Amino acid sequence: MIRFAILAAVVFSVCSPVSAQDVILLGEVQRVIVQPSGTADCPPPCPPDTLYPDGSRRICISNGGGCQTMDVKIERVYRGNARGETRRFKSRVGEWGPTFPVNEKRIVVSEEAGKVSWSPAIDQGGKIFIDPGRLRSIGGIPTSTNDDGKLVELDELLERTATARRH
């Protein structure tokens, strides 16, 4: 059991990229790249198998399907710092395949502790709204307070999450 816990911790630490800085921004996707595991920019999801002196072997099983990279042309930064004209987001491809959007529409992207999520940016009456089904939380605060599937105004959401962070 202890070996399984250690193995789970190793897999989690290897599979979870660490973000240098959390950010929330509005922009347009410029490029999406999907790479298989084991290439130069996509390390294997597991460390190599290890054979121990007692004959036992440590193995790793992963549903990681590779890596994805998304370059977003920045229109506006809401939180954090994003230097330059574009921001690059990276994450592992999971069991269900790539999750980064391949379209020319504006999106809101959140990266917190290495976890990247996004929503289409819907402009209604000069205000930006997001789909809470796509971007489920910001700073650990759910984007929708009642899970009714309705769009959420981004400025109100950011104010609500900023208030929750101060308390």
Residue 50 in any domain: the answer is no
Question: Domain range spanning residue 26?
Answer: 19-40+65-166
Q: pTM to 2 decimals?
A: 0.76
Instruction: Kindly state whether residue 126 falls inside one of the protein's structural domains.
Output: yes
Q: Which residues contact 68 (CB under 8 A, 6 or more apart)?
A: 32, 33, 34, 35, 90, 91, 92, 93, 98, 99, 100
The answer to whether residue 13 sits within a structural domain is: no
Please indicate, yes or no, if residue 109 is contained in any of the structural domains: yes
Reference 21, options 93, 65, 79; nearest CA is 79
Is residue 57, in this structure, part of any structural domain at all? no
pLDDT tens figures, 105-154: 999 999 999 899 999 999 999 999 999 999 998 888 888 877 777 999 99
How far apart CA 121 and CA 100 sit, in angstroms, is 14
96 or 12: which leads in pLDDT: 96
- Which pLDDT tens digit goes with each residue over 22-56? 899 999 999 999 999 989 899 988 888 888 999 99
Task: Tell me the CATH number at 36.
Answer: 2.40.50
Asked, for residue 49, whether it belongs to a domain, the answer is no
Q: Residue 52: inside a domain, yes or no? A: no
The count of structural domains within the chain is: 1
